[in-house]
A and B are shown apart, each in its own frame.
Chain A
């Protein structure tokens, strides 16, 4: 679980926040957050289930090398959450198993 530093929490009240959804639920993040950071900031520690065992996984490296933070973003699966910035209205879905055809 993660939280914002107090100075940033204060700034977020006035600065631009980004509204997006996680599995259809409304959520908000700081402009500039990666999708993976935005998930953690919203208390979502697991973002996908493994194709092999089904075990839950969450962001591990936050720099684009581990692929544990794969999520579906605006309908496209297998996106690296740590490499994409959260955008207004973005629909982020946790990913169950492997990427589906056409997603």
Chain B
């Protein structure tokens, strides 16, 4: 490990061990900063390189070469001396204070590890919290047997599990095709892929095609899609979708039984034991939001993203963001953004000069630009249709509190103006997931109902703890004399 900073626990804390976090931690630590890499999972990799060190899927062709690139990020991390704390859930990043041990800025991080809470004091925080699947609210999406395509991919990577029985995939976007291709390699069963990409998206996307033609993903993506289309049943132009429950083929009650889809105005029904949904990914911004980082509505990606400068710096001094958590760019872009963010953090901590930062950044910035080439085309082509972003009244939008789109609309008619008011009207977004699975939908439903833009409607205002923490964990926090004085009368 690099020389520990005597007065702070660490110079830099990196939250999230995906491509952005791994690259950022390795670069910062190899330049002499003391770095802790905090991650919720037991092994590094994030979701895209999930279980890359220990996956039971040994046949390399199943997961594909892009997945195995993740392993190349681990050597540099190990050699850098960064401290990796797996199994650490970060539930708060406090606003920076000017009361550090040396009178400088300090930031307190609350985390849970092995059932006990701890506070860390650091000088700089890099949030690399990545992405989560965009909510895909359809009637019946809460039934057991309906999962995200990303979830199915996690099951494949971590446990070598694939669906058995009738399997339907539905949605739009690169991950859906990648998973289908991986299932083909693995010999897993897929009965049908229901493609929900709206026909009219092509008109908007075509002008952006020249950019995509230069994308490194073009060749790979085309090959993969052609292979999937040749070997599987792909049903395009799906405009409506619902999952029906009943007694499943395994004899369980109240689970997925069939999938009903509409194509050219006609309904069709497919028996299904597993339905895998995917409508792209959105930034996982809960921690940045709760830390007070400003965010803005991205019209092209149709999601909220924290506001950052070209170095990942947020509106909160000392807190920066790298990777998909700042806007979706994919794993390779995240990796390069992680390096740029780390260079800027080193500069802000006085470890490198501005000139050195800029000089070192040049190759990473060029690689980032390459990785982002053609992104606009993909974002535009794969924007989910409005019917899937703004669901009909009977569809559950808030899975935790079981609130329907209709209830949200009714609240709007009663004067509910935005997502935060929806909390007090309906408890919408107040369950344990804290809006992760309903936030984008609630914003869009309210915007449509009020006839204004999502940017005007706004998003949930989130507060720590960003993940639920038990009283027992909190009680295990080490206490200072000042903490005890604060609660005891003398």
A binds B: yes
Give me the interface of A with B, judged by CB distance under 8 Å. Answer: 1-8, 11, 30, 32-34, 37, 40-41, 43, 45-47, 50, 52-53, 55-68, 70, 78, 82-83, 85
Q: Which of B57, B252, B274, B437 contacts A66 (CB 8 A)?
A: B437
Q: B150–A62 contact, CB under 8 A?
A: yes
Q: A46–B144 contact, CB under 8 A?
A: yes
Q: B56–A8 contact, CB under 8 A?
A: yes
Q: Which of A3, A4, A45, A65 contacts B255 (CB 8 A)?
A: A45
State how many angstroms separate the Cβ of A8 from the closest Cβ of chain B.
4
State how many angstroms separate the Cβ of A13 from the closest Cβ of chain B.
13
Q: Which of A11, A57, A62, A70 contacts B155 (CB 8 A)?
A: A62
- For A4, the chain B residues whose CB sits under 8 A away are 159-162
* Complexed CA–CA distance, A57 and B255 (Å): 8
State how many angstroms separate the Cβ of B431 from the closest Cβ of chain A.
7
Q: B164–A62 contact, CB under 8 A?
A: no
Q: A33–B40 contact, CB under 8 A?
A: no
Using A8-B160, A33-B158, A63-B47 as known contacts, say yes or no to A55 and B145 having CB atoms under 8 A apart.
Answer: no
State how many angstroms separate the Cβ of A35 from the closest Cβ of chain B.
11
Using A50-B402, A52-B401 as known contacts, say yes or no to A45 and B151 having CB atoms under 8 A apart.
Answer: no
Q: A37–B158 contact, CB under 8 A?
A: yes
Q: B250–A83 contact, CB under 8 A?
A: no
15 extra interface residue pairs, beta carbon distance < 8 Å, beyond A3-B162, A60-B147? A1-B250, A2-B161, A2-B164, A8-B160, A45-B255, A46-B144, A47-B144, A53-B402, A55-B402, A61-B148, A61-B437, A62-B148, A64-B40, A64-B467, A66-B437
- For B174, the chain A residues whose CB sits under 8 A away are none
* Complexed CA–CA distance, A82 and B255 (Å): 19
Q: B150–A46 contact, CB under 8 A?
A: no
Q: A52–B254 contact, CB under 8 A?
A: no
Q: A59–B402 contact, CB under 8 A?
A: no
* Complexed CA–CA distance, A102 and B59 (Å): 45
- For A64, the chain B residues whose CB sits under 8 A away are 40, 467
State how many angstroms separate the Cβ of B450 from the closest Cβ of chain A.
26
Q: A61–B151 contact, CB under 8 A?
A: yes
Closest to B147 in A: A60
**Per-position binary interface string of chain B over residues 48-65, scored 1 when its CB falls under 8 Å from any chain A CB and 0 otherwise:** 000100101111001000
**Per-position binary interface string of chain B over residues 230-257, scored 1 when its CB falls under 8 Å from any chain A CB and 0 otherwise:** 0000000000000000001110111100
